[in-house]
Structure 1
């Protein structure tokens, strides 16, 4: 499968929704078939503000961010098996997770744990 060949791990097909990880201890993302493409999505348990979503869109116009099921989500549509696009997805997904972690840390009250 193209996701495994591109270096993703934990790839499993769950009735048309493919689950995979960026690497073994990383966050899970999903891939859904849409015609000849995959719609890739990753979520993080923080709620980005509208300003943060706009800033993200400026920097990543091909990877829209929204709020889905009360979490911040980034999606990207890529051609199935396009290894270059899958590597770009990995970089975008990592950037999204890193940004969400920074946003969550900025929300913490003084003295709040990790």
Structure 2
């Protein structure tokens, strides 16, 4: 899976025990890949606690990439077959959308004058 992630263009691919870490792009957030019985679970966490309504809306719009609260943060994940380049490209797009969505939600939570 490490080589497949590199070939798909993800930078910073490293294994730490059973967990593979990679980035969406060089200065972006990190995501993980963990082997499961059915394939590889790719997950991205964002330091935001999405509301139930936000999670429900996301999950309705993106059932292939369920969102949940995991260890107090919002997490999106997909299950892919090892080395499937099309699945990795879909992951890249959905993960970028998840980041943009979480940023938008966080900005909406801020009080006036709180800053960027």
TM exceeding 0.5: yes
TM-score, normalised to structure 2, is 0.96
Query: Is the Cα contact below 8 Å between 1:36 and 1:80 reproduced in 2?
Result: no
Corresponding residue for 2:58?
56
Alignment gaps of 5+ in structure 2:
none
TM-score, normalised to structure 1, is 0.98
SS of the counterpart of 1:10?
A: coil
After TM superposition, the structure 1 stretch with the greater mean CA deviation from structure 2, 28-37 or 80-89, is 28-37
Shift of 1:29: 0.1
Corresponding residue for 2:110?
108
CA RMSD of aligned residues (A): 0.7
Number of aligned residue pairs = 114
Correspondence for 2:90 among 88, 91, 95: 88
SS of the counterpart of 1:38?
A: strand
Q: What does 1:17-96 align with in structure 2 at a 5 Å threshold?
A: 17-35=19-37, 37-96=39-98
Alignment gaps of 5+ in structure 1:
none
Whose strand fraction is larger, Structure 1's or Structure 2's? 1
Shift of 1:58: 1.0
Q: Please give the alpha-carbon distance, in whole angstroms, between the structure 2 residues aligned to 1:38 and 1:97.
A: 20
Shift of 1:113: 1.3
